[in-house]
């Protein structure tokens, strides 16, 4: 983890006033573009994911969770379920709307994405206000799955997102 922390600290950049004034965006693309950074990131995520116990699937949350979740799912030899923005999935869906720090959004999963009783790990890049992860957890609960936990690369504690996830075990690799 210390290797990851050092590399991430060097490569994750802050973009001020994006996507709106007053928002500081944590850009992980330099971390993922760097071979050492990508390797350290995947290792740290897989190690953290194993702490949640046996899992049946990793849920990659759009959009940057899509970049991370397949790597973790493959390393753990389990399935991958995309959590998409509304209107992006072709079959019957379950939907959940939520608020985020600069607007409203809806996420969806296929209604048949996981069998009832499956243990699912939610994976995203950043926990900010918690709306996306809370909505994603509700989707899997509606599908009859057990949300084993949530794993994020970065948590922004000042935005209080963790307070929406009191019933979901949460691990953040970094805090800003």
Token pair listed for 56:
């049946």
**Catalytic annotation, pick one of 26, 64, 84, 119:** 64
Report the candidate in 59, 89, 63 with the shortest Cα–Cα distance to residue 76: 59
Active site residue 84: no
Q: Are 121 and 153 in contact (CB under 8 A)?
A: no
Query: DSSP alpha helices (H): ranges in 19-130?
Result: 29-33, 35-50, 64-76
Query: DSSP alpha helices (H): ranges in the chain?
Result: 2-11, 29-33, 35-50, 64-76, 131-142
Q: How far apart are CA 85 and CA 79, in angstroms?
A: 20
Token pair listed for 170:
């949460």
Residues 6+ apart with CB under 8 A from 141: 147
Active site residue 36: no
Within a 10 A sphere around the Cβ of 6, how many other Cβ atoms?
A: 12
**Catalytic annotation, pick one of 36, 50, 62, 101:** 101
Active site residues: 64, 101
């Amino acid at each position: 983890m210390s290797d990851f922390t050092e590399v991430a600290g060097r490569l994750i950049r802050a973009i001020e006033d994006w996507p709106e004034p007053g928002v500081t965006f944590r850009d992980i693309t330099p971390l993922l573009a760097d071979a050492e950074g990508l390797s350290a990131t995947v290792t740290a995520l897989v190690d953290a994911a194993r702490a949640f116990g046996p899992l049946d699937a990793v849920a990659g949350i759009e959009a940057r969770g899509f970049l991370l979740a397949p790597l973790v799912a493959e390393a753990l030899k389990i399935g991958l379920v995309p959590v998409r923005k509304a209107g992006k999935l072709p079959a019957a869906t379950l939907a959940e709307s939520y608020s985020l720090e600069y607007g409203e959004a809806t996420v969806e999963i296929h209604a048949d994405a996981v069998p009832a009783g499956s243990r699912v790990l939610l994976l995203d890049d950043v926990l900010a206000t918690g709306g996306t992860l809370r909505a994603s957890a509700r989707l899997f609960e509606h599908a009859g799955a057990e949300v084993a936990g949530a794993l994020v690369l970065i948590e922004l504690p000042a935005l209080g997102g963790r307070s929406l996830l009191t019933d979901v075990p949460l691990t953040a690799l970094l805090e800003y």
